Structure 1
């Protein structure tokens, strides 16, 4: 492909709690993480809105998170993007001070230089709608030439680029990406200098925010022991009362995250009661000390550690990755800094295989994504460097509610595609529908099965049952998204489908307005 002179290849780690952007510097031969105006390499994935008075404002990123006067703070949007309202975790809703009505947004801008390639990372088990919604968010931000990559894939690619002599042919790597909102696990093997993903999986509802929620409940109980009903959502609240409560909840969220982080470096921490109770002038006796032991015991009682370790076992045992045959363990994401999490991983793998302290787990994904974006320029690298896979079997519902697998777990992306032939089951049948699912169950009703979409074919010539046949084809592209088609054999009747976020013409018009509006922030 032709690359514009002085153009940049960009990698974006669109995180639940923090986001990072890196570009690949071909002169230095390495990715460089961009810094904000405060010199930070990570920008908070927050939006702060104040419009209660005429001097209303909107803040984005770290400024939004540090805004103590916010009337409404929106965060954790990665746990919402591309999901139906019913799919959003109840526990998350209970801890958010906002209703689910947010838009996700990210931007890359480097000295007005053109951007040739962009790779945005997503969790391993993001479904098609979530991936499409991520691409839509990029479109809203005016970012073009976007491809998606799984977060662990980007991280291992970046690590190998920075440490070219650390891995040899045949070495096995376990990558655990435990961020603010999601857990991803990948098992990779080095083959002829390429990275071959052998198994992968994740949990979109387990991350640092779940540990924040535990801390939130601990602090909330402490505060309400001294001030009953301090955080209570009451019926018939005025707008001012709602805003006041939102401010309390945002302060609670920030303090919970701060205490959790501090407990990774010491055994106890003190609550900032002046910050938490800035609107309360009464003298209240509240115990300010929270211990790591107290926090870890509560996390254990809620099953967070068990859920974490079980997912790792599930992914690693598929290909026999275990202590003794793994040469490198990469711990990515802020949640991997928690001592108990490190101990849990050390129970499965030798600590000596953990990446050394020179490896930055917080920017690894963004830097790896930038390198992957650069590698898309064929004349720069010359060959594919990472071979990612389909993490979960994909197939359709057939008679009896049976799940027929068409794309197997572990197939390399992009898949070559699978085509199968089916027949009408009724006399004079004029339409057929194909319900697509993914999962490991035998039946579509099995636990853990996920419905994806339906492809419907109309206009089938009438005839007896079994006379008309269909060809159904499905494949998964480089972005991890399905491309589906069905046709009636011997006719021109064909239906194609790429799973996407459905937009009305009105919404498409709103996108154009939003794109223009977002430019005011940059």
Structure 2
């Protein structure tokens, strides 16, 4: 709840977020629901609609997520699927799903480098992918989990609120954070109405030079009536457009591919219909035409359905004849260490863009004389200092034999499975004593007890049982003496 981005988002949401037992929760009529539970209801409804249409029950699913989702967000998605009573075959990155849909349109072509530009309602992903006649290989991914259509809506909402306040000398957000529950509810409803109008206006501005945003009796009987031109709208969100293009430039550098070497540019997501988005992409690629062979709205669903079919039967494997579909890790994974006389360094164990599944190991030495325990703090990101990256979890390896500083060697192994879930193991080599953490159970993840409460008497899946045995440690243990490792050397294991 202390996250700055979350607090900013909450200002414009038409519902209330409160602190629940396992982290932020949605307040519905005084009852708190974790986001995973809300998502599970949506998944249930989607599966029910599909089952009705297909006239057959559905139990197995492939769920897509933005490529730049963190480890914890992927684990939360897996939780939601399991709470919905589904067997989740795979958590699939959305650009990879779109690449599958693209490949089905040109199955027999030779090697091509494709850039997937995926800008949807709330997130933005870019992936550089190489395809040949029988395979899809992701070379690099990048993105932003807070860049998409909702951010454009929010910019329009802020514009309208500011203009309304200037016109009528009143603040329509009064009651959002203060006042009675009724005042807060009325303000949330007011924002919901405005958000709907702004979303519609955004769509209209993709086809019309200007539009009018109108909300009857918006505040104390006063109507909101504001006209905005497309150029004015584009100026409001120009910084977001530029941010997206910067990410495109970055992903090409990570893939070590020039703009000239990209054969096709595939647009995915409703926000790619905004004319200025398309203009900037064409300008960046020096006038190269965009590929429109697949639907920006359906490509991810189409590709994930094909992936589910491949995972679910030999007949589909023969039909689609993919030798492999290989994804990559979006951000580097590592731990906090002491190195070069400086505490808090981020030591990468699995680098960004490593192929999934991935496994790598590094060895470290203890820093202090007679150090009996080490703290393994796990992060995800590209910054040099650990605390500037995304914190994923931590655990303690104890019962290290007394020895001079630097004598005991600790081996830290990281493994990312096909679901994109991270497993971390630390071993003291002199005793073979070890501790393991499946990161999906840390940093506010739903506990096994919470899952059981939500699921009622439903059978807990094997994955949940495994995760419930993993240690989760109080954050205050981060100050325990001797919780620093000194980097020793690096060994890489080649993924199978």
Q: Same fold (TM over 0.5)?
A: yes
Note if contact 2:128-2:140 (Cα within 8 Å) is conserved in structure 1. Answer: yes
- Aligned-partner Cα distance in 1 for 2:372–2:254: 43
Deviation digits for residues 291-321 of structure 1, max 9, x if unmatched?
A: 1111112222xx1121111111111233344
SS of the residue aligned with 1:461?
Answer: coil
Match of 1:188 in 2: 129
SS of the residue aligned with 2:382?
Answer: coil
Check 1:361–1:410 CA distance in 2 against 1; reply closer, same or farther (3 A cut).
same
Check 1:218–1:430 CA distance in 2 against 1; reply closer, same or farther (3 A cut).
same
Aligned 1:68-217 pairs, distance under 5 A: 85-86=2-3, 88-100=5-17, 101-102=25-26, 103=35, 104-105=38-39, 106-107=43-44, 108-109=47-48, 110-111=51-52, 113-115=56-58, 117-165=60-108, 168-217=109-158
Match of 2:416 in 1: 476
Check 1:87–1:218 CA distance in 2 against 1; reply closer, same or farther (3 A cut).
closer
SS of the residue aligned with 1:500?
Answer: helix
SS of the residue aligned with 1:484?
Answer: strand
Check 1:343–1:423 CA distance in 2 against 1; reply closer, same or farther (3 A cut).
same
Cα RMSD of the aligned pairs, angstroms, is 2.5
Gapped regions of structure 1 (runs ≥ 5)? 1-83, 517-522
Note if contact 1:327-1:353 (Cα within 8 Å) is conserved in structure 2. Answer: no
Given candidates 441, 451, 454, the residue that maps to 1:511 is 454
Aligned 1:462-501 pairs, distance under 5 A: 462-501=402-441
Check 1:411–1:182 CA distance in 2 against 1; reply closer, same or farther (3 A cut).
same
Bigger mean CA deviation after superposition, 231-240 or 150-159: 231-240
Deviation at 1:211, TM superposition (A): 0.7
Match of 1:224 in 2: 165
Note if contact 1:222-1:287 (Cα within 8 Å) is conserved in structure 2. Answer: no
Deviation at 1:330, TM superposition (A): 0.7
Match of 1:377 in 2: 312
- Aligned-partner Cα distance in 2 for 1:171–1:224: 53
Gapped regions of structure 2 (runs ≥ 5)? 18-24, 27-34, 460-496
Q: TM-score, normalised by structure 1?
A: 0.75
Deviation digits for residues 155-206 of structure 1, max 9, x if unmatched?
A: 11122124435xx322110001001111100001124521111111111111
- Aligned-partner Cα distance in 2 for 1:365–1:450: 27
- Aligned-partner Cα distance in 2 for 1:212–1:361: 19
Match of 2:490 in 1: none
More helix by share: 2
- Aligned-partner Cα distance in 1 for 2:252–2:404: 50
Note if contact 2:13-2:188 (Cα within 8 Å) is conserved in structure 1. Answer: no
- Aligned-partner Cα distance in 1 for 2:225–2:58: 53
Q: How many residues align?
A: 421
Q: TM-score, normalised by structure 2?
A: 0.78
Bigger mean CA deviation after superposition, 506-515 or 286-295: 506-515
Match of 2:469 in 1: none
SS of the residue aligned with 1:429?
Answer: coil
Match of 2:325 in 1: 386
Match of 1:294 in 2: 232
Moved over 6 A (4+): none
- Aligned-partner Cα distance in 2 for 1:359–1:192: 18
Note if contact 1:169-1:193 (Cα within 8 Å) is conserved in structure 2. Answer: no
Match of 1:438 in 2: 380
Match of 1:328 in 2: 264
